[in-house]
Structure 1
Amino acid sequence: MNYSSLSLSDMNKENIPVANTQCTTARVTRARAKALGTSGVLPPLHPVVKVKQEHKQILQPKTKRASSDNKSASTDVAPIVQSKRRAVLKEITNNPFNHSSIKLTDGIRLQISNEVKRCTSKKNDRVMVAVAVAPSVCVSPQGKTTTEALNDESIIDIDSKHKGPQMCSLYATEVYSNLRTAELKWRHSVDYMKTVQLEITQEMRSILIDWLVEVCEEYGLASETFYLTVALIDHYLSKKNIGKRRLQLVGITSMLIASKYEEISAPRVEEFCFITDSTYTKGEVLEMEQQILDEISFQLSLPTTKKFLRRFLLAAQSSYKAPIIELEYLANYLAELTLIEYSFLKFLPSLIAASAVFLAKWTLDHDEYPWNGTLEHYTGYKASDLEVTVLALQDLQLNNAAPLHAIRQKYKQQKYKSVATLTSRKPVKLVL
């Protein structure tokens, strides 16, 4: 049968006057059926089904595509049956509307649709309310719950303005509460140079870290990578006795691990071998990598000073109308100075971060007291708790004659607002 003649015949039959529609056998479209239903005259349904079946029988054996001459005509007929059988609505057993005695008018369908939308909207509202009103019940170091503390007018809620999912404002309190617990768990020996190491001295450690500052600058690595590198070095040295020749190997391997964890694109192993003038082979670096990871049980999310500093600076900036970039750079500079000094291992990372914020605020502004209720709440430290650490930190700040000056040179650059050149005009002891 010619497809084009079939289509034209169907089209001619659709144009038959309404009075003759009782005997038509042509396919009735939805629009046509609605028009006929409105006039009260509908063609019988069974003959239409028979026509479709006849067409199907005719089209089934023709598995090849129609010739190019018949392409335009074939588009007007019913679609060719696919080899893969598709399920239709009437074949679904759990369809509530497949019973022949149930007939839905347009009004009933609209009512059901609106009811479904209303129920779905109510369900979503309940879920959103359950998430929004769930309060944090973490206990602060002062013994107050977060909800109770934020009711104090002197404390600014630093998370209320940050609704982005990356800020995790709903979980920030719990995250930093866990970090405070983790810094106690991962606190290593503060005198391992005497109890564990036989050849390595404090000065050797400082020289290594000062050199790693330059490596970070050379490869453009993030400060988080540098902090994690130093943490890995101290954790490994507090457990394993090594010789002087392998100290640099521990340093570059720790930076390799930290880069893989923190950086988007970490330097390759060969690059770390190159910066040591090929003192170590790729095999030695990979072997040391395995040893360090085994020693820390692959727990790379270590609580460093940088993680606390990010949170504490957010609390410090909340009292200003606009963020002060010098405050951030200066606090980071002071915190990085402590990484070189072995004596600062006795202080917790959170204590060093809070002290860096305290001294940075005092350095920039002597007229305002550098501590307030918001900082006390989010750091968990009173000003009196910071006295020893702040005084030791100011000694580092004023010691411009120190032989290791990589960090000072870094923060003397204009991109860091030359904060390394800033000093306090008055001793910080006056406010402690």
Structure 2
Amino acid sequence: MNMARQTNNRRALGDIGNLVGALSTRCTVSKGRVLAAAAGENNIVAVKNFVQVDRPVTRSFGATLAKEGLLTQAPAQEFEEHMKWGAKQRRTRERNHVKTNVENSVVPLADKVLESVPSPHEVIGWSRAALLKNDTESMIIDLTEEDEDDDECCEMETEEAESQMPNIDEADMDNPLAVTDYVEDIYSFYHEREIISCVPPGYMSLQSDINEKMRAILVDWLIEVHLKFGLMHETLFLAINLFDRYLSSQSVVRKSLQLVGVTSMLLASKYEEIYAPIVEDFVLVSDNAYRKSDILQMEKSILNTLQFNITVPTPYVFMKRFLKAAGSEKDLETVSLFLMELCQVEYIMLKYPPSMLAAAAVYTGVCILRRAPSWSRTMECHTTYTEEQLIECAKLMTGFHQNAGKGKLTSVHKKYSSPKFSCAARLEPAHFIGENYL
């Protein structure tokens, strides 16, 4: 029983050579207890049950040696010679490995390897020091103490930063539709893929029969049609996106421009709505200017041109997330949507990516409502934009707000002047935007 208990103990960490810079020895395994003690001033090392063999000592082989009395005590001198032999074998293996794998740089690489290998005296001293430690775990703690301290400091800084940042999804943790476990990854993917939904800001130069003003008239009309049908916000922004992406790839004559618009609205309705308007509804709303077959033929043309790539992040997709980070207040949501739809009419706003349009609309809405702070660290984290980056776009939105009720294109202003949309268009424009950055 005593022998069984002794054979279950492991050797000191120094014997197995698993530390950086340590040298492995021959297949020497001690199945007995290795005891180390300091005896008097000479620090005599006592090594019990140490046997040097040329094969691994398994449990059955160790039991056989113990039964036959072959496990004898080894003096300190024999132990030193054994460690010298192990160091020599290690250096030989390192040298051969370098010659085999690095033929073009044998000499310098071999020198670097040999310089990192300690001498036999250093190995013996290290092994003795390891044997003199009663608790092998203390060696591990000594070797990793500095790294653990650094890790603890990093963890403390990370926890402190996370504690200061409010969790905007905390209220929806129990709502499976909010997918709080994946929402951050989803919007990170949107930021990476939003370039697909963008169009060249100068694509109108490729069109020979239409221009920017015609586009503005059509978009203003589509917003009125969208309101008449009572469609979702996602449908409007997706329809304008499909419309612009098609015009950037195909040359369209003036008489077919409205056909492209109503067909884009039809496709967006099929994608977003539960009960989408039928084709006859769009024939009627276009005053029978086009037949049902014309709309269906244009539908095929748009899908083939866009390669059926309809799933793209629009400005409204980003706005929903940014509004949640800002507090999800109804007034702010309405004002931000008003500013966003004003931007859809303006061809110049195509130069901004969807996420920046959404962030600038929310920022401008915060300034219109005179909320403080105008741009918090939470908003900067979720939008990935600083206040300085949004100033230029926000100033353009303010200009559109000031001129919204003027001219012929007033569909957005009329829409958001009604009580249904909290009369957002009647609010005073944010003249103070960016006054510190002028």
User: Counterpart of 1:205?
Assistant: 215
Indicate the larger mover: 345-354 or 155-164: 155-164
Cross-structure match for 1:340: 345
In the alignment, which of 221, 228, 239 is matched to residue 218 of structure 1? 228
Separation of aligned partners in 2, 1:200 and 1:349: 24
Amino acid at match of 1:325: K
- Matching residue's letter, 2:247: L
Report the secondary structure of 1:430's partner residue: coil
**Size of the alignment, in residue pairs?**
281
User: Hey, what's the Cα distance between the residues in 2 that align with 1:176 and 1:153?
Assistant: 21
The alignment's TM-score, normalised by the length of structure 2, stands at: 0.62
Of 366, 371, 382, the residue aligned with 2:386 is: 382
Match of 1:245 among 255, 273, 282: 255
Write out per-residue CA displacement over residues 46-86 of structure 1, whole angstroms, 9 at most, x where no aligned residue: xxxxxxxxxxxxxxxxxxxxxxxxxxxxxxxxxxxxxxxxx
- 1:356 maps to 361
What is the match of residue 325 of structure 1?
Answer: 330
Offset at residue 249 of structure 1 (A): 0.3
- Find the counterpart in structure 2 of residue 404 from structure 1: 409
Instruction: Tell me which residue corresponds to 1:172.
Output: 183
Aligned to 1:373: 377
2:335 and 2:365 in contact (8 A); partners too: yes
Per-residue CA deviations over 1:11-46 (Å, capped at 9, x if unaligned) read xxxxxxxxxxxxxxxxxxxxxxxxxxxxxxxxxxxx
State the distance in 2 between where 1:226 and 1:267 align.
13
**Structure 1 Cα separation of the partners of residues 278 and 218 of structure 2:** 20
Superposition deviation, residue 214 in structure 1? 1.2
Partner of 2:201: 190
**Ranges in structure 2 where 5+ consecutive residues have no aligned partner:** 1-156
Q: How far is 1:201 from its partner?
A: 0.7
Matches for 1:16-95 after TM superposition, within 5 Å: none
SS state at 2:165 partner: coil
The amino acid across from 2:240 in the alignment is V
* Cα RMSD for the two superposed structures: 1.9
What's the offset of the Cα at 1:429? 2.1
Counterpart mapping for 1:112-151 below 5 A:
148=158, 151=161
Residues 431 and 417 (structure 1 numbering): CA distance in 2 closer, same or farther, change over 3 Å? farther
Alpha-carbon displacement from aligned partner over 1:106-156 (angstroms, at most 9, x marks no partner): xxxxxxxxxxxxxxxxxxxxxxxxxxxxxxxxxxxxxxxxx9598344421
Conserved 8 A contact 2:231-2:273: yes
| Aligned counterparts of 1:362 and 1:426: Cα–Cα separation in 2 | 9
1:278 is displaced (CA, Å) by 1.1
Aligned-residue offset at 1:301? 1.3
Q: What is the percent sequence identity of the aligned residues?
A: 35
Please give the secondary structure, in 1, of the residue aligned with 2:309.
Answer: coil
CA contact (8 A) 2:313 2:354 kept: yes
For 2:292, the equivalent position in structure 1 comes to 282
Match of 2:317 in 1: 307
Cα offset, 1:300, TM superposition = 1.3
Cα shift at 1:204:
0.4
SS at structure 1 position matched to 2:170: coil
Contact kept in structure 2, 1:200 and 1:244, CA below 8 Å: yes
SS in 1 for 2:171: coil
CA distance in 2, matches of 1:187, 1:353: 14
Structure 2 CA distance for partners of 1:155 and 1:273, relative to 1, 3 Å: same
Change in Cα spacing, 1:174 to 1:429, as seen in structure 2 (3 Å) is same
Distance 1:382 1:150, change over 3 A: farther
Letter in structure 1 aligned against 2:391 = E
Cα distance in 2 for partners of 1:290, 1:181 equals 28
Amino acid at match of 1:161: A
Cα deviation for residue 276 of structure 1 reads 1.2
SS of the equivalent of 2:435 reads: helix
- Checking the alignment, whether the CA contact within 8 Å between 1:154 and 1:374 is kept in structure 2 is no
Q: How does 1:147-162 map to 2 (within 5 A)?
A: 148=158, 151-162=161-172
Query: Mind listing any 5+ residue stretches in structure 1 that lack a counterpart?
Result: 1-146, 318-322
Aligned 8 A contact 1:183 1:348 in 2: yes
How many Å separate the matches in 2 of 1:329 and 1:235?
A: 27
Q: Say which SS state the counterpart of residue 335 (structure 1) adopts.
A: helix
Specify the code of the residue in structure 1 equivalent to 2:265. M
For 2:421, the aligned partner's letter is Y
> Is the CA contact 1:154–1:373 (under 8 Å) kept in the aligned structure 2?
no
User: Could you list the runs of 4 or more consecutive aligned residues of structure 1 that deviate by over 6 angstroms after TM superposition?
Assistant: none
